[in-house]
Structure 1
């Protein structure tokens, strides 16, 4: 457990210092509290001196009755709890992936894809060579422009569980590298060194060449493109809360007017890479189980209601729940304690 303290020194300056890594036998709130008490006593400090706590949003930290923040508040009611802003945002994105099986399955597929392609230097080099070859072909045909800063090398990076802006970068790269990734998977499927490796590549090829994968890929690119800016390291509280409001407005605009443009983008992508396009009036075929006749729905209904509207509404609801008016006003009031702001105003 990493422990950082923030305090005001004798000159009135706010100082933040990393103190130590504390070994804990388990992550229960009681064990964490014991570790903190032991560390503070080493420096002649005590929990009674605390005037604030800041942790992530995990239940063992923020639990109302038995969380670490609650155990400390019982001992010191002045140790007010402030949740980590970035982690709150992360939880809104994770919630969408966990609550919607289609989105969760999509990110599982992307993780498997990154593991298969990045599992060896040979496969990474193969992807790089395929992409270089396609860039040269595009330049020769006049389809790709050449200028300083263009055509930079891309790769499929592992998704960072605690930094969801990495997901956005990976999706952007996947869209750009899509034909090269397909070529590498086809090669592995035909020439892989063992049966499990070939089976994984063939399974990924099957999933990636489906309309639904392409649709979710572009949908999540749009959503993460709006929200990933909130995780920038240089955000201050006031600017971040304003960006939350802007993000909510942009999500609402996409919900009301963005479906047609998204479908055009998906159809263009499918046409470019020979991916079969579904008939919107056909009955949607659910993988893994059969549907009763009364539950049948068209493809258009599934992609519009169960994916597009539902995912955006879940994202919107999570942002509202975690950054409601009370939390927003509280965070904005906290910004008044920034000494840099007072210094600038005094000038």
Structure 2
């Protein structure tokens, strides 16, 4: 009988080397009653201790079952695509720089380089509240006694939030990030079917 595994369960790994993590994964597979000979795939992010070909989790499972083919994590790859998109365009770099600069001042959603869902949340927070945020910056400029804060608030309100390129970039990035985030959710759903996701990825490529 298979043991029921808790949803979104985390496994404790004190040894984060490839060998240590492999032993944790192998023990869990045995614990929940799955036959490792039936394993047909494994997928991880780009961590060398997971995907590496020598003394890593991928290598350990392939040694036991050569049919457990490794595939890079689709969600992580989408994150990398977005990172490359943002870093290859000077306007994107400028846009997210302004966004990150605005976030601490307004306690909006902060950015994360590894979880790009945070970017859609950050963009959405400003995308649909731009006038209110602009008003809040003007109010901050008036009430603050700190010259630096007054200056930064004024610059953000006038030269950034009223800037056409910033507003256009915000609209474009919101649509792009929303589309990618939808695919990410499909890839992580329990009832995901690979043929459906392939069609969705093709649609995403066409959209981009």
Using the size of structure 2 for normalisation, the TM-score is 0.70
* Deviation at residue 230 of structure 1 after TM alignment: 0.9
**Residue 196 of structure 2 corresponds to residue 239 of structure 1:** yes
* Deviation at residue 180 of structure 1 after TM alignment: 1.4
Q: What is the CA–CA distance in structure 2 between the aligned matches of 1:170 and 1:48, rounded to whole Å?
A: 42
* Deviation at residue 181 of structure 1 after TM alignment: 0.8
Q: Which runs of 5+ in 2 are unaligned?
A: none
Distance 1:201 1:40, change over 3 A: same
* Deviation at residue 157 of structure 1 after TM alignment: 3.6
Tell me, yes or no, if the aligned pair for 1:47 and 1:72 is still in contact at 8 Å. Answer: no
Q: Which runs of 5+ in 1 are unaligned?
A: 1-8, 119-155, 252-347
Tell me, yes or no, if the aligned pair for 2:183 and 2:200 is still in contact at 8 Å. Answer: yes
Q: What is the CA–CA distance in structure 1 between the aligned matches of 2:97 and 2:87, rounded to whole Å?
A: 11
* Deviation at residue 102 of structure 1 after TM alignment: 3.4
**How do 1:1-347 and structure 2 match up within 5 A?**
17-18=5-6, 20-24=10-14, 27-36=16-25, 39-40=27-28, 43=31, 51=39, 52-65=41-54, 67-74=56-63, 76-118=65-107, 156-159=108-111, 164-192=116-144, 194-195=146-147, 197-205=149-157, 206-233=159-186, 234=189, 235-251=192-208
Tell me, yes or no, if the aligned pair for 1:24 and 1:35 is still in contact at 8 Å. Answer: no
* Deviation at residue 24 of structure 1 after TM alignment: 2.8
Tell me, yes or no, if the aligned pair for 2:43 and 2:71 is still in contact at 8 Å. Answer: yes
Using the size of structure 1 for normalisation, the TM-score is 0.46
Q: What is the CA–CA distance in structure 1 between the aligned matches of 2:31 and 2:102, rounded to whole Å?
A: 48
Distance 1:63 1:224, change over 3 A: same
* Deviation at residue 244 of structure 1 after TM alignment: 1.1
The number of aligned residues is: 200
* Deviation at residue 227 of structure 1 after TM alignment: 2.8
Q: CA RMSD in A?
A: 3.8
Tell me which structure has the larger Cα radius of gyration: 1
SS of the counterpart of 1:81? Answer: strand
